């Protein structure tokens, strides 16, 4: 069995939902190792092989009409839902705030507030989004979302190479000054966000902020072993830690997305190299293909017949044993 991530690398619910549903119908998909294009893996998407799906999106509208079908097929899932409300200079083509909030509300009503995690992420400190801006925006959004989510994740923008390159260009072209902030700035703002979240009944979690220690802020795990165990009490999860960066609390999952395919144009995004690359790849996307996007080197290749394709190794997940056996040696391999 696998935990499937769909996807940290792109917005599958908003932009590639037709492809995803076709892959569920087919019962499998392929994904390419983003750091080694010669490694192609086949992933079963049969309900009996998928312990849970973790979705990541800014617009759940395309998936809403299929939520009941997903549940009827036997899939368990939860959703990370990003709403920041940044100025257009930072988020060129993100859904309008009202549209995003409306879709989140509908999703929460369909699957429960506990399965929809609001992400106010990342926090960018700049001349057009200073600390006071974040206090105001977070408060306004929390007021709109407090009845439809129970938790909110945040992180401070990290100086990834791609992100810094975009910020340098924005400084040159638009005169926007950026700062990544120090620990005192982060702690001060996190403390204020915790006060706001607490006053509205929201649990606040930090994402990959190892040096942050603020009362009212819990350490988050986007691929969360505890939440997975709660959603699937019939399964025994022994997933390995799989941090994507320092301070990340995630456990292992198979991500089926592709970098440079998201069209929302967020200047801070680490998953896109440029604005043009995603547009080109989106034009080349074939919703009937087993890959979300197929590189030129694999065009014309039948992946179902290729010896170079590997089956995704199963994660350490199995059906729970009868209650009277749970006290047996839990450290034994047994898989």
Tokens describing residue 127: 């001349």
The mean pLDDT value of the chain amounts to 92
Give the span between the Cα atoms of 24 and 27, in whole angstroms.
5
Structure confidence at residue 326 (pLDDT): 36
109 within some domain:
yes
229 within some domain:
yes
Tens digit of pLDDT for each residue in 18-28? 999 999 999 99
Give the span between the Cα atoms of 75 and 47, in whole angstroms.
6
Structure confidence at residue 325 (pLDDT): 37
State the DSSP H helix or E strand holding residue 236, giving kind and residue range, or none if neither: strand 235-237
Tokens describing residue 286: 């074939």
Number of structural domains found in the chain: 1
235 within some domain:
yes
Tokens describing residue 141: 């959004």
Structure confidence at residue 307 (pLDDT): 73
Structure confidence at residue 323 (pLDDT): 57
Give the span between the Cα atoms of 168 and 175, in whole angstroms.
10
Residue 91 scores a pLDDT above 70: yes
Give the span between the Cα atoms of 146 and 7, in whole angstroms.
25
Q: What are the angstrom distances between the C-alpha of 219 and each of 148, 153, 190?
A: 22, 9, 12
Query: How crowded is the C-beta side of 288, counted as CA atoms within 13 Å?
Result: 0
Structure confidence at residue 264 (pLDDT): 95
Residue 331 scores a pLDDT above 50: no
332 within some domain:
no
143 within some domain:
yes
Tens digit of pLDDT for each residue in 146-183? 999 999 999 999 988 889 999 999 999 999 999 998 89
- End-to-end Cα separation, the chain, in angstroms: 11
Give the span between the Cα atoms of 83 and 94, in whole angstroms.
9
Tokens describing residue 155: 């992180």
User: Whole domain around residue 77: which residue ranges?
Assistant: 2-325
141 within some domain:
yes
Give the span between the Cα atoms of 72 and 245, in whole angstroms.
36
331 within some domain:
no
**Nearest Cα residue to 183 out of 159, 155, 212, 208:** 212
What would the 3-class secondary structure string for 52-73 be?
Answer: EEEEEECCCHHHHCCHHHHHHH
Q: Percent of the chain having pLDDT more than 90?
A: 83
Helices (H), the chain: 12-15, 17-26, 61-64, 67-73, 97-111, 131-145, 161-174, 183-199, 225-231, 276-284
Tens digit of pLDDT for each residue in 276-318? 899 999 999 999 999 999 999 999 999 988 877 889 988 888 8
330 within some domain:
no
Angle between helices 131-145 and 183-199 in degrees, nearest 10: 30
């Amino acid at each position: 069995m696998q935990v499937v991530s769909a996807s940290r690398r792109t917005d599958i619910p908003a932009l590639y939902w037709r492809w995803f549903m076709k892959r569920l119908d087919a019962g499998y998909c392929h994904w390419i190792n983003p750091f080694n294009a010669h490694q192609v893996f086949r992933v079963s998407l049969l309900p009996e092989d998928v312990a849970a799906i973790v979705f990541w999106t800014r617009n759940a509208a395309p998936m809403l009409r299929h939520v009941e079908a997903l549940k009827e097929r036997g899939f368990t899932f939860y959703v990370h839902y990003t709403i920041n409300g940044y100025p257009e200079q930072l988020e060129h083509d993100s859904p309008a705030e009202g549209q995003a909030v409306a879709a989140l509300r509908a999703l929460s009503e369909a699957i429960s507030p506990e399965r929809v995690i609001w992400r106010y992420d990342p926090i960018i400190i700049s001349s057009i989004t200073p600390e006071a801006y974040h206090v105001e925006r977070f408060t306004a959004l929390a007021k709109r979302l407090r009845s439809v989510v129970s938790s909110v994740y945040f992180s401070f923008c990290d100086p990834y190479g791609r992100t810094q390159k975009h910020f340098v260009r924005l400084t040159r072209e638009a005169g926007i000054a950026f700062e990544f902030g120090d620990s005192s700035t982060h702690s001060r703002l996190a403390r204020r966000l915790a006060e706001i979240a607490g006053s509205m009944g929201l649990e606040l979690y930090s994402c990959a902020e190892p040096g942050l220690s603020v009362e009212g802020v819990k350490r988050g795990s986007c691929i969360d072993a505890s939440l997975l165990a709660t959603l699937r009490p019939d399964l025994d999860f022994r997933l390995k830690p799989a941090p994507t960066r320092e301070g990340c609390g995630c456990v292992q999952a198979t991500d089926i997305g592709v970098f440079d395919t998201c069209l929302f144009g967020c200047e801070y995004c680490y998953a896109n190299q440029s604005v043009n690359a995603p547009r080109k790849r989106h034009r080349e996307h074939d919703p009937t293909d087993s890959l979300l996007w197929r590189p030129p080197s694999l065009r014309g290749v039948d992946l179902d017949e290729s010896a170079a394709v590997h089956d995704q190794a199963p994660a350490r997940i199995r059906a729970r044993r009868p209650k009277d056996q749970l006290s047996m040696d839990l450290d034994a391999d047994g898989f």
